[in-house]
Amino acid sequence: MTNEAITLDVDDDSDVATITVDRPAQLNALTVDALEALGDALDEAEKAGARALVIAGAGDEAFIAGADISYMVDLSTPEAQAYAELGHRVANAIESFPAPTVAAIDGYAFGGGAEIALACDFRVAAERAVIGQTEIDLGIIPGWGGTQRLPRLVGDETARRLIFLGERIDASEAADIGLVGEVVPDDAFDERIAELSRELAAKPAVATRAAKEALDAARDGSTETGLALERRAWAGLFGTHDQREGMAAFVAKREPEFK
């Protein structure tokens, strides 16, 4: 599968599928079309029988720098709700993908990009990676699952610090707090991703799927309630002064003036 913004490659020898967000000039930010294409690529990878899935960003500047802020700046609340629901569908599809998933975080992973990584089973970061739930500085909150998945990984207070302050942390700190499982030197990153994905794909597929289902079932059963609340809260911020100002300032490359 090839799309203007998303590519899917399935290695027939290893059965490893790689989905790449291919918008390096835009730091791989996800437009609506790209997000929909990412969902389609997940479906295609599953149909192809992928035994491991890698999600990556083109170039070495960004994994996924976030959602498309120039698109979001003028959204109404109903439009924002629809965008949140699309983001949730894609993140949920990653989380429930039948084979192990690996987020190959090379460069920036902000906002929606961090949330895509959170939905994966493994998060491997290059040393140059920088990660953050930066939505607060746009006058919004994480809207693709971050408020629910981040605390499960790093604990409640650490998640609150990252979300309330919009902190951007380097790969080493991300590993220290449990946000990523492995940090790899930049020049060895591609090799390590290939090695890990091939190793995962070589494991017995039925047992691996059963293990993933059992691990997923161990999570708090109220997660879906929390995700529904997050979608409503995120969408409800659209049309507020701070959302309009935060995104307009970002697009104009100036400091926002929040109320």
Question: Which residues are CB-neighbours of 110 under 8 A, at least 6 positions away?
Answer: 64, 65, 66, 130, 131, 132, 133, 134, 168
Instruction: Identify the active-site residue in 85, 115, 182, 230.
Output: 115
Active site residue 115: yes
Instruction: Identify the active-site residue in 135, 191, 195, 257.
Output: 135
Burial 142-176 (b: 16+ CB within 10 A, else e): bbbbbbbbbbebbeeebbeebbeebebbebeebbe
CA–CA separation, 110 and 131 (whole Å): 6
CA–CA separation, 71 and 60 (whole Å): 24
Active site residue 230: no
Q: Give residue 258's identity as a one-letter amino acid code.
A: F
**Residues identified as active-site:** 115, 135
